[in-house]
Structure 1
Amino acid sequence: MSRRTQVVVIGGGQSGLAAGYHLRRLGLDFVVLDAQTTPGGAWQHTWDSLRLFSPAAYSSLPGRLMPAQSGETYPDAQHVVEYLTDYEKRHEFPVERPVRVLGVHRDGVLLRVETDSGTWHARAVISATGSWLRPFLPAVPGRAVFEGRQLHTVEYRSPADFAGQCVIVVGGGNSGAQIAADLAPSTDLTWVTQRPPRFLADDIDGRALFDVATSRRRALDEGRTDAGGVTSLGDIVAVPPVREARDRGLLARRPMFTRLNSGGVEWADGTRAEADAIIWCTGFRPALSHLAPLQLRGRRGHIATSGTRALSEPRLHLLGYGDWTGPASATLIGVGRPARETAREIAERLG
């Protein structure tokens, strides 16, 4: 079965929905193809204690404020799932799920989107698949010989799964700090980071980070000196659970080990630490395998863009993958602006 539309949006999470909002406002015909079985994007697969960095009102998609969560300043992941579900329903977006996109191909003046449930032809494609489905694991010697449990951030759910165990958490970003704080009271925790952890000031949350990221992008666009943006402030937002664990001295950090052995890890000086489990909070890569047929990746695997538009394929836009596709575009509050600019650019090109 083959169908046609003006725009195919790949991904029904926060970025895909933000794109849908602005495409609808501009009167464009579109479809959202989502590989998930239910609404909510990656938020429905996070660990139990995860909370937003910002209050609800500062974590909203365009056109509808996120309501506050009763009794909570920073909403949890389930509240975000409920918000995204309501957002999708309220706007009556044409979402089809579960649909897995197999590949995007050039087909004359159109792009052909092959899926496991048929083919779509479109004049433009917005890829909004995020990175949750592509966790990154570093190539550390000995990983194959470790006899304990190894898992990535995407597989972690609750400290109850590790109570009383020796657990090593690897990663000095927000995920690593939050999961380490989650585990510290009930496990024998070792927190390992590549460099000393850099906590942001306690009064900085997602509102301030979005303002900093936006100011940096404006400065770069105007040719002014790059002040470093968010990374110049630190790596870890001191959300209340992280702040509490830090202040209680539960987040003592150790430097990165050099290898794994059958029972744990070891450092260059010969010291060792036993482990029942190692949790790799080592980040993600953009989930872009569906774009492979277009052959857009450069020497380092990066797709060059101007804003969100792929330079080598102007019918393709990449939305929500981080600062390279818009300041703070991987966040709820940050994706609205690049989604609006993407929809406008597509509307202008389709004329």
Structure 2
Amino acid sequence: MSSTRSTNTPAGPSAGTAPVVVIGGGQAGLATAHTVRALGMGRPVVLEAANRPAGAWPHYYDSLTLFSPARRSALPGATFPGDPDGYPARDEVVAYLADYAARLDADIRTGHRVERVRAAGSGGFEAVTANGEVFAAPLVIAATGEFSRPHRPVLPGLDAFTGTVLHSAEYRRPEPFAGRRVVIVGGGNSAVQIAIELAAHARVTLATRHPLRFMAQRVLGRDVHLWLHRTGLDTAGWARPLLTGGKGTPVMDTGAYRDTIAKGNPDRRPMFTRLDGDQVVWSDRTRERVDVVLLATGYRPGVEYLDGLGALDANGRPRHDGGVSTTHSGLGYVGLEWQRSFASATLRGVAADARHVLSRLRERSRSGRRPARAGRTG
């Protein structure tokens, strides 16, 4: 790794060509750029909408910590500082990504929001930014990942709810909710972490469609992510229901979460029937006034710049096979949830996926093969 050039200075209507254009400068984009260099594919251009290459991390809630230890969360070529068995906090991840980008031999352009990707006459692509710059390349990797577009589900009465509605993407700290009645919709890791933090200041309920299913964070003294990797469960398709839902929403836990929720602060209840004014109507038909509904309902891939290319399905999700587009030669994805493994959308999974995708795209380019139209949607 060596020095990098980051800039938000416009370069005119035509910004030139690159061997690979990477869209997104977060963990997926940075891992992809490093892999481009490692595979000898030239010096990539990384286009990042924000003013720094850190992806969605600066926008998460203050107390967020990684769900995998530092030793399992490093990007290629740079160990994560601090306790290797510790779980880095949000600001530590932001600092790590900034340092990684500063030493990465790539042309990183911050302040460059890609508005659309179009096919070029040469068979490659052109990425067009909000300020009209055009970056041409034979290969484009969409690395804006899974966490840039908050998902707001359709819930009965939600649009007419007279209290406060916010997504977990807007939550920062618990103090503004002191003394309020809060219902959190969702039961994943972030939902539980936020609920327990809020419960010290407010009365909180987790409303979920399925019971919470706690998974041991550590097994035989080692983090579960180590065992998932060593046993192959990370990438085993048959294991996906066990790791992502099954008969309950999985939550990584050292035991503290389970014990706290068992005591009823916060409590967990079946999903409510509807919202009515400032009230929630529970499944047993009881009503309760609520101040805040917090949606911990996840995200959708932020790849709307591909809308006009024909690379997405009717729901706006990429058509791909393990991150390789099934609609366009030269187009790939890194950072999608379950792209190839349980860890695909995480720090510990993006590098392996980047190598897989770039190797397949390079092989396809050399052989002249066109993508099959079949393939799953991520």
Give me the TM-score of the superposition, normalised by structure 2: 0.84
Code of the residue aligned with 1:99 in structure 2: it is H
CA distance in 2, matches of 1:347, 1:272: 59
Q: What is residue 298 of structure 1 aligned with on the other side?
A: 313
Equivalent residue number for residue 5 of structure 2: none
State the partner residue of 1:33: 47
Contact 2:118 2:126 in 1 (8 A): yes
- Structure 1 position 82 matched with structure 2 position 98: no
Q: 1:218 to 1:321 in 2, by over 3 A?
A: closer
1:208 is matched with 224
1 CA distance for matches of 2:271 and 2:357? Answer: 40
Residue aligning to 2:31: 18
- Out of 348, 354, 357, the residue aligned to residue 342 of structure 1 is 357
The answer as to whether partners of 2:301 and 2:317 remain within 8 angstroms in 1 is no
Query: 1:164-206 CA deviation, whole Å, 9 max, x = no partner?
Result: 1111111111111111111111101122111111111252599
Give the 3 Å change call, closer, same or farther, for CA 206–23 of structure 1 in structure 2. farther
**Residue 104 of structure 2 corresponds to residue 91 of structure 1:** yes
**CA 1:6 to 1:350, structure 2 compared with 1: closer, same or farther past 3 Å?**
farther
Q: Which runs of 5 or more residues in structure 1 are unaligned?
A: none
Tell me the residue number matched to 2:195. Answer: 180
The whole-number CA distance in structure 1 between the counterparts of 2:242 and 2:96 is 29
Q: Secondary structure at 1:79's aligned position in 2?
A: helix
CA deviations 1:32-58 (Å, max 9, x no partner) are: 000111232111111011111122111
Equivalent residue runs for 1:1-351 within 5 Å? 1-2=13-14, 3-27=16-40, 28-68=42-82, 73-108=86-121, 109-117=123-131, 118-203=133-218, 207-209=223-225, 211-212=227-228, 215-216=232-233, 219-220=236-237, 228-231=241-244, 235-238=250-253, 242-243=257-258, 245-246=260-261, 248-351=263-366
Distance 1:30 1:206, change over 3 A: farther
Amino-acid identity (%): 38
Q: Distance in 1 between matches of 2:158 and 2:215?
A: 32
> Structure 1's 69 and 150: CA in aligned 2 closer, same or farther, altered over 3 A?
farther
In the TM superposition, residue 153 of structure 1 has moved relative to its aligned partner by 0.8
Q: Which amino acid aligns with 1:62?
A: P
Change (3 A) 1:127 1:177: same
SS of residue in 2 equivalent to 1:260: strand
Of residues 265-274 and 75-84 in structure 1, the stretch that sits farther from structure 2 once superposed is 265-274
Aligned to 2:8: none
Instruction: Give CA deviations for 1:197-256 in whole Å, capped at 9, x if unaligned.
Output: 111125259952464367146555xxxx65745235961111576356336442321111
Q: Shift of the alpha carbon at 1:69?
A: 5.6
Whether the aligned pair in 2 keeps the contact of 1:22 and 1:339 (CA below 8 Å) is: yes
Letter in 2 for 1:183: L
Distance 1:189 1:270, change over 3 A: same
Q: 1:101 to 1:180 in 2, by over 3 A?
A: same
Identify the range of structure 1 (291-300 vs 167-176) with the bigger mean alpha-carbon deviation.
291-300
- TM-superposed CA distance for 1:329, in Å, is 1.1
Alpha-carbon distance in structure 2 between the residues aligned to 1:308 and 1:132: 16
Whole-Å separation in 2 of the counterparts to 1:130 and 1:260: 32
Q: Classify the secondary structure of the residue corresponding to 1:292.
A: helix
User: What residue identity is the alignment partner of 2:19?
Assistant: Q
Between the aligned partners of 1:133 and 1:34, the Cα distance in structure 2 is: 12
Residues 95 and 243 of structure 1: CA distance in aligned 2, closer, same or farther (over 3 Å): farther
- 1:139 is displaced (CA, Å) by 0.8
Deviation of 1:269 (Å): 3.6
Structure number with the higher helix fraction is 1
Structure 2 distance, partners of 1:329, 1:199, is 21
Q: 1:316 to 1:227 in 2, by over 3 A?
A: closer
CA–CA distance in 1 between the matches of 2:315 and 2:293?
29
SS in 2 for 1:161: helix
Q: Secondary structure at the match of 1:22?
A: helix
